[in-house]
Amino acid sequence: MRPSDTPLIDSGALRRRVAELAAEIGASYARYEEPPILLTVLKGAAFFAADLARAMARPVEMDFVRVQSYEGASSTGTVTFLHYPESALRGRHVLIVEDILDTGRTARAIVDWLQTQELASLRLCTLLDKPSRRLTPLHAEHVGFTIPNQFVIGYGLDYDERYRNLPAIHVLESGPDRDARDT
Ligand code: XMP
Ligand code: MG
């Protein structure tokens, strides 16, 4: 498997959209004195969150959550927490930062848990959205790009832990392994 020769979303488009999202998010939190916590879903969203945070004009705090979903033959996608945020979340404005919403199960499980934490507010930001795959109702207030049902890699997204460090988002294609930057 390998990345498509041409990116689906190139690094310039990512940079421009991240700047727009940062402005959009900044505006929606401007009325609060306390900085929001950007709660990043590891590992995929780490790259996006780092760029997003640096594009924000006002202070933000960073925290992380890590979950794993199991997709067994009999299972319907159970989500387990591997790492919980370290911050005290009670009374805080929390923005979940995701790389991609696919079936929505991962984000749903995180939202469900956060809804028990007595937050001041909860919003969801995702870089990519594949709405055609959604199995659970979920609304993201901030969406970078809506994409078709294709498996994508790069800018944090992996295939078997590879390709996260590609600077652009590519479609995963069949063929011999190679890096999209090879010529
Ligand atoms: P759900 O189905 O829970 O899935 O919304 C979200 C998680 O599934 C992974 N995922 C992908 N990873 N390219 C990837 O590298 C993709 O196209 C893709 N679609 C889903 C991802 O880990 C995400 O957090
Ligand atoms: Mg993954």
For ligand 2, the distance from its centroid to the CA atom of residue 54, given in whole angstroms, is 24
Q: Closest Cα to atom 17, ligand 1: which residue?
A: 151
- Report how far ligand 1's centroid is from the alpha carbon of 56 (Å): 25
The whole-number pLDDT of residue 178 equals 78
Q: Which atom of ligand 1 is nearest to the CA of 152?
A: 17
Q: Is 44 in the pocket of ligand 1 (CB under 6 A)?
A: yes
- 58-113 pLDDT, tens digit per residue, is 999 999 999 998 766 555 678 999 999 999 999 999 999 999 999 999 999 999 99
- What pLDDT was estimated at residue 74? 56
Structure confidence by residue, pLDDT tens digits, 104-147: 999 999 999 999 999 999 999 999 999 999 999 999 999 999 99
pLDDT, position 107: 96
Report angle CA 146, 148, 150 to the nearest 5 degrees.
Answer: 125
What does pTM read for this prediction?
0.94
Ligand number nearest to the C-alpha of 67: 1
Residue 37 near residue 63 (C-beta atoms within 8 A): yes
Catalytic residue positions, numbered: 102
